Structure 1
Amino acid sequence: MDLKDRILHLLDKYTDNKGRIDCTKAIAVAKRLKIEPSFVGKVASEFGIRIKNCELGQFGDKRIDSFDKKTYEALTVLADNNRIKCEDCWKVANRFGMVKVRSSIKNSNLEVIHCQLNCFKNKERPRLKAEVELFLKSKATKDKINDKAFEILKAVIELKNLKDTSCRLGVDEEVIIETIEKINKVFNAVCVKIEKDGRVTVYPLAGEILSKFEKLKKDIENFSKKRFVEIFYGDRKYKDIDKYYS
């Protein structure tokens, strides 16, 4: 029996009746045969066997817990521009456990790339695949999230306390809680967690979302200014735009 046959034999052993094999089992096949996981992924693809339930939470329904700061810091050491290879995530998992790694990735700004089983190369998590601009055009409209929601998010991030946020904005605490829950739901992750005693835990993703939103607002404002000058003042240099608004 050659290597490909041995791989296929083990894959068949763990494949369900829908022709799918769990990510963990596929990696286990590679370890058992002492070969690169990419070769297992290639054979699986060749014979129409699909990988399910990514251990790093990129697809499937693996359990997601809360963000873990130490695990996140260990991941960022190996990341490049917030992107980290699948293989490096598994190395960190050897120290902290896969659940902590998976949860810290899902609740942060990290993106997993170069799946060891060749399921993807540069795959962004669904909640960050689209920029906040797309988010505002679709999901935000559906869930009634607007500028006020991001104002609440910003205050919560800065103050890290429910009562203080309520006092600053003059908004009921229940409204703040509901707004944060909507934001978490839309981005399919826990960006901010509000405890029963009013204490607030802010995860890295919250800052990234707010940053994207503020950049988008600035871009829209600049575009509006340019269009205004273009329409009412003709062909003039845009560097003098601000004088028309003084």
Structure 2
Amino acid sequence: MSESGSKAKKKEYHSQDSLDPKRRDCILEYSKNGKLPCAVAFQIVENMGMPPDEIGKYTDQMEIRIVKCQLGLFGHRPVKKIVKSGEMVDETLKKAIHQKSIQNRLSCIDAWKIASEFGIGKLAVSNACETLSIKIYSCQLGAF
């Protein structure tokens, strides 16, 4: 326990030596300056056949930051977050978001599914969520 009496949250890291060398090398090849864009991480997921959360664990252990969230929530320069609230949201999109949200929260994977179902960009779903005061949570890569 810390001096304030609360337990500090600690991530459990394993030695980089325990990482699959092929996967580790692939992540290193595509990362630049210690950063890996979300879209590139998902290309690796597809090419290597690994679950998204595993990429997140690898990048954590390798001290590589995930940037340029496809939902616009983090990692964009110079403003970090590029999600914008709008004036209104299409009723069918609004209904889909509300059906999949729980207590005004929508998971990252559900946001992606909605984007795919509606044939719209992931950022458009994030913008709609921002307008509706719905928070996106549970990044597939484990970034948030």
Which residue identity does 1:89 align to in structure 2? Answer: A
1:56 is the counterpart of 2:80 = no
1:68 alignment counterpart: 89
Match of 2:62 among 42, 47, 58: 47
Name the aligned partner's letter for residue 97 of structure 2.
L
Cα distance in structure 1, aligned partners of 2:96 and 2:61 = 35
Rounded Cα–Cα distance in structure 2 between residues aligned with 1:42 and 1:118:
8
Report the Cα distance in structure 1 between the residues aligned to 2:23 and 2:94, rounded to whole angstroms: 34
Q: What letter is aligned with 2:109?
A: E
Judged with a 3 Å threshold, the aligned counterparts in structure 2 of structure 1 residues 107 and 13 are, in CA distance, closer, same or farther, namely: farther
- Of 90, 115, 136, 2:112 maps to 90
TM-score by length of 2: 0.71
SS of residue matched to 1:35: coil
**Match of 1:100?**
124
Gaps of 5+ in 2: 1-17
Q: Which residue number corresponds to residue 24 of structure 1?
A: 39
After superposition, give the CA deviation of every residue in 1:67-105 in whole Å (9 maximum; x if it has no partner): 532333212211111111111111111123213212212
RMSD: 2.2
Q: Does 1:13 align with 2:29?
A: yes
Instruction: Compute the displacement of 1:42 (Å).
Output: 0.1
Change (3 A) 1:9 1:77: same
Higher helix share: 1
Distance 2:117 2:27 in 1: 28
Quick check: 1:4 aligned with 2:20? yes
Per-residue CA deviation, residues 197-230 of structure 1 (Å, 9 max, x unaligned), is xxxxxxxxxxxxxxxxxxxxxxxxxxxxxxxxxx
Q: How much does 1:36 deviate?
A: 1.2
Contact 1:72 1:101 in 2 (8 A): no
Structure 1 unaligned spans of 5+:
121-246
**SS at 1:55 equivalent:** coil
Map of 1:80 onto structure 2: 102
The structure-2 alpha-carbon separation of the partners of 1:113 and 1:99, relative to structure 1 and needing over 3 Å to count, comes to: closer
Report the number of matched residues. 118
SS, match of residue 133 in structure 2:
coil
- Taking the aligned partners of 1:41 and 1:63, their CA distance within structure 2 comes to 22
Q: Encode CA deviations 1:94-138: one digit per residue, 9 max, x unaligned.
A: 123213212212322111111111112xxxxxxxxxxxxxxxxxx
Shift of 1:44: 0.6
| TM, length-normalised to structure 1 | 0.43
Preserved CA contact (<8 Å) 1:26 1:40: yes
Deviation at residue 3 of structure 1 after TM alignment:
7.3
Deviates most, 99-108 or 56-65: 56-65
Q: 1:78 to 1:12 in 2, by over 3 A?
A: same
Alignment of 1:122-133 (within 5 A): none
2:19–2:58 Cα contact (<8 Å) kept: no
